[in-house]
Structure 1
């Protein structure tokens, strides 16, 4: 592959690796493409934030772009990328037709992050106090948009094996359009394990998660109202530290020192916070994808208690680094047991390290991914010929979305 191959990433937001797993994921993808010799430009219509990463430090060009504005056409023509990566389906909806029109030979990739339609359908089922069924996805408006986006792209990067299977079985998406690429981590060696704080040096429980993400806010409410009182009754000296970026006023109001329920807000270094804790609590009741907070716990040697949704697609056939349960009383019981029993705690820690080293180490994926990208770039015409549904959607989208966007642009003038 040409060493000056250009990659354009169209970001939903500017990457904030210290604020969310999505930000960390984006930096991993940038690193992966850098290693392949790509020259990378990152463009986004989002506002700058105080916590965004300095892309220049990673030798990534940063460009601000606008929605519904033909100035993007000029930018992409001049850049002429060989590969375009859309960060979430919303960016493909907005800019995909412009990419197809101005750079028809560019390989179009979609990083789904997680399946938004799955997360929203599960959230709706939860709010309606009923069990989620896969048929719920068929009436979810976002599913129609997201699946159309997946079909229009040449390849979608999937973070969860469960979601790959769901797309293939429920939506009949061709295998050739999906690519499993989870979080990409460095291996953990024995010397690093020995440097981690040991059982006796750790104390208290921790929850960590970006509060702009509804499943995290719901989990914190669940902890406050139901789970934490059961744990606190048996471990009166402990506290639960709640960390996360962008806490709203309703989150901050949950802070209660007397109950040992402490809203700590954003942390500069999430790993340091998790390393100091003895157990991570993550009672997620809906959601999708794989959970960065739980992988982070494993990297820090901190056992966790989570739900079936929390652990979904994360550990394969390997034992969890703690416990998985959807029962409230059981959740509190196993959390207390993990907190008090050093033998069980150490075994849980080892389980987590094994999960990282066998399922998420970067070198397990980088060469295959490089080969896949090279193959698609070399055989793009043939690849697209086999994706008739995608070509049909691209044809109609180019017409409808294009004229809607042009109308909005004229209206904005």
Structure 2
């Protein structure tokens, strides 16, 4: 009996995955692992150069194929590969390569992995800048954190970034959304059809060992890629305000900050006398998280859901964050730590968790329950595969129903093809 051919998947990544450097890369790896469990044939391509913490995809059985921007060589590559599914990692990859996929493999299912809504994150960043410009010394951000979805829409709607990103979502057959809040925003305010959006949060294998106990831990911890603007803003807020308030109550407290790609501006903040230690990159993020007593994540803007807070739950480490940090992460569950809107409240709750053993143990237990109920890899992996198979089976109907997407693909193909041909001709002439 002839076995059916394995489903071919092409993933076009904005960068090569670095799961130990960012939650976004970790999510991509979780999706790839889900595909591998199905026995699917996977090729990963990216126009980016490999980073120093790049995952070894070949070791997992995934082909690695570098590609170039604005090059017709991609046409030959994808035509010969003939993928059944093309997964764009971040919307900029759909902008660059979507029209070529449309031309060479029109029946391939087009899927966009968003990580977070970048236009939402950038709009919130601008709002924070405006807020700080109006009053740099105010530390109660409750008004900033409680905006209704309509206000978020109005903040985003006139930006070029939102128009580009929403257009890319429409042009794809399915969009993997990590945040239920972003799904609600896209459906209710931007009017995207529900069929185009699939909730696919971080997918975690539950821990098999009991987490370390209160008495076996010490110090506060903060972790995150320093290149990510929300993380860098959180570091600055901790340095200027949150950490000094903690040290007023715990004069001997120590904060360890870990992050990939530590820039000189971050190492310049290192000050052991203040208990403020910039530790650079963590070889094993879960190991340092497991050794810490409290995780600090005072995020004043951002989008999506936060890998560092999932890691904290995995390690049984209570966390103190803001409504932005906790957004779309807990569902109906209580937060495993505290969610605060001001620097003083963040400091007070962090100190309470650090000193109150019973309160800390209760927070740890809440994190374990939340993790098991919302982030099981087996459950989300099953629903993801089922959704992809449904879309492939009903692709003609789905595309007919998504007329806006078909229209946008038509215009993208025409305009981008002519521009690409002009760029190639110019390059050849210069050679």
Match of residue 297 from structure 1: 312
1:292, distance to aligned residue in structure 2 (A): 0.2
Give the count of matched residue pairs: 409
Q: Per-residue displacement from partner, 1:147-204 (whole Å, max 9, x unpaired)?
A: 0000000000000000000000110000000000101111245xx12xx221111001
Matched, 1:313 2:328: yes
1:400, distance to aligned residue in structure 2 (A): 1.1
Task: Determine which of 179, 192, 198 is the counterpart of 1:173.
Answer: 192
Q: Is the 8 A contact 2:177 2:198 kept in 1?
A: yes
Q: Give the whole-Å Cα distance in 2 for the aligned partners of 1:411 and 1:309.
A: 46
Matched, 1:341 2:360: no
Q: Give the whole-Å Cα distance in 2 for the aligned partners of 1:409 and 1:220.
A: 43
Matched, 1:386 2:405: no
Task: Determine which of 198, 204, 207 is the counterpart of 2:219.
Answer: 204
SS in 1 for 2:157: helix
Matched, 1:59 2:61: yes
SS in 2 for 1:86: strand
1:284, distance to aligned residue in structure 2 (A): 0.1
Match of residue 83 from structure 1: 85
SS in 1 for 2:334: coil
Matched, 1:287 2:302: yes
SS in 1 for 2:232: helix
Alignment of 1:1-400 (within 5 A): 2-129=4-131, 131=144, 133-134=151-152, 135-188=154-207, 192-193=209-210, 196-400=211-415
1:366, distance to aligned residue in structure 2 (A): 2.1
Q: Give the whole-Å Cα distance in 2 for the aligned partners of 1:366 and 1:271.
A: 22
Match of residue 137 from structure 2: none
Q: Per-residue displacement from partner, 1:330-375 (whole Å, max 9, x unpaired)?
A: 1110100000000000000001011110000012222222221111
Q: Is the 8 A contact 2:260 2:281 kept in 1?
A: yes
TM-score (norm 1): 0.97
Q: Give the whole-Å Cα distance in 1 for the aligned partners of 2:416 and 2:117.
A: 22
Q: Give the whole-Å Cα distance in 2 for the aligned partners of 1:259 and 1:409.
A: 56
SS in 2 for 1:78: helix
Q: Is the 8 A contact 1:203 1:238 kept in 2?
A: no
Q: Is the 8 A contact 1:7 1:84 kept in 2?
A: yes
Structure 2 residue ranges without an equivalent (≥5): 135-143
TM-score (norm 2): 0.93
Q: Give the whole-Å Cα distance in 2 for the aligned partners of 1:86 and 1:147.
A: 14
SS in 1 for 2:29: helix
Q: Give the whole-Å Cα distance in 1 for the aligned partners of 2:381 and 2:33.
A: 10
Q: Give the whole-Å Cα distance in 2 for the aligned partners of 1:368 and 1:214.
A: 32
1:411, distance to aligned residue in structure 2 (A): 2.1
Q: Per-residue displacement from partner, 1:33-79 (whole Å, max 9, x unpaired)?
A: 11222100000000122210111111000000000000000000010
Q: Give the whole-Å Cα distance in 2 for the aligned partners of 1:405 and 1:267.
A: 41
Q: Give the whole-Å Cα distance in 1 for the aligned partners of 2:380 and 2:68.
A: 34
Q: Is the 8 A contact 1:285 1:309 kept in 2?
A: yes
1:2, distance to aligned residue in structure 2 (A): 4.2
1:3, distance to aligned residue in structure 2 (A): 4.6
